Structure 1
Amino acid sequence: MRLFSILAAAVVVLFLAFFILDRPRFLAAFGGQPEPEATQSQETEAAETQQTDADLVKVMVRKSKATQVDSAVILRGQTEAARQVEVRSETSAIVISEPLRKGARITEGETMCKLDPGTRQAMVQEWRARLKEAESRVPESEARVEEARARLEEARINQNAASRLNQDGFASQTRVATADANVAAAEAGVSSASSGLRAALSGIESATASIAAAEKEIERLTIKAPFSGLLESDTAELGSLLQPGALCGTVIQLDPIKLVGFVPETEVNRVTLGAQAGARLAAGGSDVTGDVVFLSRSADPQTRTFRVEIEVPNPDLAIRDGQTAEIVIASDGVQAHLIPQSALTLNDEGTLGVRLVDAENVVQFAPITLMRDTADGVWVTGLPATADIITVGQEYVTAGVRVAPTWEDLSQ
């Protein structure tokens, strides 16, 4: 029995060896059909392909489609008064008005400080008297000019007659010389009379100018508000002496109020005049809206940013000057992809982007531009409308390498 078991085992081993090592001949011997050579070749290629895929780097890939996203320029800035001016004295005098207290509303043209006129009114009266005196001399000077011109005309007639008589032998040379002298004297008289008239007219102009200067000096004694607003400081105290340039008070206008921010040069082309803007104030968290009214054409030399101003209505004066604000300026929408922040990578040149796979599962690098950061990921631009983005494993592959992708579930 033992010998039979050994022989049976040897036969089974030979059978299996013959079946494995020479399968086509074995099938022919037992009436089977050998496998075609093409089938064997396909099995060989499949085996090689299976082994090659096993050697590829496995990555996680997400199919992303671009979405129209409302674009906005986000800034951090502050509120600023539409107007603020320090009203100062233009003359020297004592304040004779009661002071207005800071915080009080003031209207355009309202008196802020009134100064003592002193002798200024007397100076006006003096110059007016001089004006009348100069005006009274004008008729007399004009009459003297007319009289001098008449004498000149008479002297010229006598000169002409004496010259003709002398030619005919009826007048001496002495008479001609006398006539010439009279003409010269008459011309001098005309010149003197004209000078007197010009002096009278100059006196009128001088007196008129002095009156205007004295009246302007009197106007400067009343310091008025240049525009409606609020007093940011007390006006000058009663009895204080104001010299030219001394402060009477500070007026500030808060309606409308401005939101001021600084746009980086990479974003400045996305901001346009008239664009709608909103802001959230740090104090109280209130939201306000307005329009862009100014965009600087010159960059700050230190920060390379551009000043932008937004005008916001403030009828109740609830917004104060100098409050911090988060500003959002509307811009044209763009096509963007929402991707995980972890999918971002750098190429060998240090360019920020993502790695994609094409139809042949070959890795490609695509540079991107960050648009906005959210809790769900980052919005980026610069990719095609549909992109297969490597979200896991992008750091282990480079452009041109073939990978074995695993696709994320679309419901994720």
Structure 2
Amino acid sequence: MRLIPVLTALLVTAILYFVVVERDRLAAFAGNGASEEATDKVAEASTELTETPSDDAGLIRVVAMRSAASTIDSAVVLRGQTEADRQVEVRAETSGLVITEPLRRGSHVTAGQELCRLDVGTSTAVLAEAKARLLEAQARIPSAQATVAEAEARLEEAKINDNAARKLSEGGFASSTRVASTAASVRAAEASIQSATSGLESTQAGIESAQALVAAAEREVERLTMTAPFDGLLESRTAELGSLMQPGSLCGTVLRLDPIRIVGFVPETDISRVNEGSLAGARLTTGQEVTGQVTFVSRSADPQTRTFRVEVTVPNADLAIRDGQTAEIMISADGAAAHFLPQSSLTLNDEGTLGVRIVEDGGIVAFKAIELMRDGTDGIWVGGLPEKADVIVVGQEFVVEGVQVAPTYRELDQ
């Protein structure tokens, strides 16, 4: 039972001996182990440094993407608004009181439908008087024609008598006085014909004047009723019952919305790409998308904006599209080669030109101006680059043209 305390005492004594008496040898043994481990680590690090290439030392690292051009359907994109195909303000041409009930705003109307009617007043009386004058003038025609016929008969008789008197005078059977008398009768008959003809022409002029009065009176009666010039919608309520209208007073506004036009203005740099008959689409602010055709391209630029008016005609049978809505218009054009890049790769140079920085042979950075072709949620189509280009997508803001870089390449998920 006393063996354990004895062994414990011997172990403690041995430890104290090494710590106190053999202290230097123990420290040397521990130091050699640590030195060997440190030496191994230094050797491994040296080996790694030796194996790592030193060609990119001091170069700026960037991330680039190898991009190849693809042919896409190009489109001219512009903003515009919808316009009614036809719009007219129906106004009064004469004065009078409105005697019809007003039509409700937004009502459908057809061509020729009555919108407003005015009180006839004295218009019918004026028309009746004009027609009476016309009948009176027409009744004078037979009498004038008879007068002309009578004058012509007298002239014929006078000529016969004059001819007979001349022949008798040549044979010595009639005096010169009789010849002179018959000649005077001829001249008098000719004057009678001219007078009768003038009377007939005056009567005919009176008829034409009476006809003009009848036409004016009938036109005045027609102006009392205002009708829709074409099928459409009433944009405003028609004139109120009992209101006094003067020439130029508004009766109502009529719109035709089927088909409807979408109008935009194309800059002069793109106008050569837009042609009549081209397919076009539009996206309204409501999210509705419609398609149609280009039906008009202006030949004259707006003097203020230097843009050209373009109209796209779109079917609108359900009248869902309204006049004056904002729309984004896309007009199809010839296909073009373009690169699909992330929008974050775009940058500006010192002159403020939009473009991208690419990596050329030898890792040299170059700046290329680009043209925006089409954008989307996951990238953008651009033109103006070579068929193949290594576009810097990370780090382009930290390098300038002519600098050598160390690129790392990655692919873009399209």
Does the C-alpha gap of structure 1 residues 411 and 233 become closer, same or farther in structure 2, counting only changes over 3 Å? closer
Q: Aligned AA for 1:209?
A: A
The offset of 1:246, in angstroms, is 1.3
Counterpart CA distance in 1 for 2:361 and 2:282 is: 46
SS at match of 2:144: helix
SS at match of 2:198: helix
On the 8 A contact 2:155/2:190 being kept in 1, the answer is yes
The offset of 1:67, in angstroms, is 2.0
Q: Aligned AA for 1:211?
A: V
The offset of 1:361, in angstroms, is 4.8
Counterpart CA distance in 1 for 2:83 and 2:102 is: 26
Q: Aligned AA for 2:77?
A: I
- Structure 2 match to 1:388: 390
SS at match of 1:113: strand
- Structure 1 match to 2:318: 316
Q: Aligned AA for 1:139?
A: P
On the 8 A contact 1:58/1:393 being kept in 2, the answer is no
On the 8 A contact 1:99/1:235 being kept in 2, the answer is yes
Q: Which moved more, 1:183-192 or 1:199-208?
A: 199-208
- The structure 2 residue matched to 1:368, chosen from 345, 367, 370, is 370
Q: How high is the TM-score relative to the length of structure 2? A: 0.77
Q: Which moved more, 1:83-92 or 1:202-211?
A: 202-211
Q: Aligned AA for 1:410?
A: E
Q: Could you list the per-position Cα deviations for residues 327-348 of structure 1 after superposition, in whole angstroms to 9, with x for gaps in the alignment?
A: 3333333221123455555668
The unaligned stretches of length 5 or more in structure 1 are 1-49
SS at match of 2:101: coil
Counterpart CA distance in 2 for 1:138 and 1:187 is: 21
The offset of 1:91, in angstroms, is 1.6
Q: Which moved more, 1:273-282 or 1:220-229?
A: 273-282
Identity of aligned residues (%): 60
Q: Aligned AA for 1:290?
A: G
On the 8 A contact 2:65/2:412 being kept in 1, the answer is no
Q: Which moved more, 1:128-137 or 1:342-351?
A: 342-351
SS at match of 1:162: helix
Q: Aligned AA for 2:411?
A: L
- Structure 1 match to 2:294: 292
- The structure 2 residue matched to 1:274, chosen from 253, 271, 277, is 277
Q: Could you list the per-position Cα deviations for residues 138-185 of structure 1 after superposition, in whole angstroms to 9, with x for gaps in the alignment?
A: 222222212111111221222223333334443333222212211111
On the 8 A contact 2:358/2:390 being kept in 1, the answer is yes
Alignment of 1:1-400 (within 5 A): 60-282=63-285, 284-341=286-343, 343-344=345-346, 352-359=354-361, 361=363, 366-391=368-393, 392=395, 396-398=399-401
Q: Aligned AA for 1:305?
A: T
The offset of 1:70, in angstroms, is 3.2
Does the C-alpha gap of structure 1 residues 237 and 365 become closer, same or farther in structure 2, counting only changes over 3 Å? closer
On the 8 A contact 2:81/2:326 being kept in 1, the answer is yes
Q: Aligned AA for 2:212?
A: A
Does the C-alpha gap of structure 1 residues 404 and 230 become closer, same or farther in structure 2, counting only changes over 3 Å? closer
The offset of 1:226, in angstroms, is 0.8
Counterpart CA distance in 2 for 1:64 and 1:405 is: 18
The offset of 1:104, in angstroms, is 1.9
On the 8 A contact 1:264/1:306 being kept in 2, the answer is yes
The offset of 1:390, in angstroms, is 4.3
Q: Which moved more, 1:243-252 or 1:185-194?
A: 243-252
Counterpart CA distance in 1 for 2:134 and 2:203 is: 10
Aligned residues: 360
SS at match of 1:326: strand
The offset of 1:223, in angstroms, is 0.8
On the 8 A contact 1:91/1:244 being kept in 2, the answer is yes
- Structure 2 match to 1:13: none
Does the C-alpha gap of structure 1 residues 145 and 83 become closer, same or farther in structure 2, counting only changes over 3 Å? same
On the 8 A contact 1:63/1:387 being kept in 2, the answer is yes
Counterpart CA distance in 1 for 2:358 and 2:234 is: 63
- Structure 1 match to 2:14: none
Counterpart CA distance in 1 for 2:371 and 2:409 is: 24
The offset of 1:411, in angstroms, is 6.3
On the 8 A contact 2:134/2:211 being kept in 1, the answer is yes
Counterpart CA distance in 2 for 1:405 and 1:64 is: 18
- Structure 2 match to 1:409: 410
The offset of 1:129, in angstroms, is 2.5
The offset of 1:306, in angstroms, is 1.8
SS at match of 1:125: helix
Q: How high is the TM-score relative to the length of structure 1? A: 0.77
Q: Could you list the per-position Cα deviations for residues 55-89 of structure 1 after superposition, in whole angstroms to 9, with x for gaps in the alignment?
A: 77665543211123332222222222222211011
Aligned Cα root-mean-square deviation (Å): 2.9
The offset of 1:326, in angstroms, is 2.6
Q: Aligned AA for 1:294?
A: F
Q: Aligned AA for 1:382?
A: G
Q: Could you list the per-position Cα deviations for residues 252-290 of structure 1 after superposition, in whole angstroms to 9, with x for gaps in the alignment?
A: 2222222222222222233332333333332x4333333
Q: Aligned AA for 2:410?
A: D
The offset of 1:54, in angstroms, is 5.3
On the 8 A contact 1:88/1:248 being kept in 2, the answer is yes
